[in-house]
Amino acid sequence: MSKDPVSKAKDVRAAVEAELSFDPRVDSAGITVVNVGGDVNLTGTVPSYPQYLEAAAAARRVAGVGTVDNNQEVVLPESDWRDDVKLATAANNALAANVTVPDSVEATAEDGNITLTGTVSYGTQRAAAEAAVAGLAGVRNVGNDIEISYVLDPVEVDVHVQQALDRAALVPDDSDVTADTTDGIITLTGHVRTWAEHDAVVVAAWMARGVIDIRDELQVTG
Domain boundaries, the chain: 5-74, 80-148, 154-220
Question: Domain 80-148 carries which CATH code?
Answer: 3.30.1340
| CATH topology agreement for domains 5-74 and 154-220 | yes
Identify the DSSP state of 104: T
Distance CA 35, CA 31 (A): 13
Mean pLDDT of 28-56: 95
Residue of 95, 153, 151 lying closest to 122 (CA atoms): 151
Tens of pLDDT, residue by residue over 153-197, are 656 777 777 787 788 777 887 888 888 877 778 889 998 888 888
Query: Class of the 5-74 domain?
Result: alpha beta
Helix H or strand E encompassing 57: helix 49-60
In this structure, whether the domain defined by 154-220 belongs to CATH 3.30.1340.30 is answered with yes
Of the ranges 58-62, 146-150, 157-161, 202-206, the best mean pLDDT one: 58-62
Helix (H) or strand (E) holding 109: strand 106-110
Asked whether the predicted pLDDT for residue 105 surpasses 80, the reply is yes
- Average pLDDT in the 117-122 region? 90
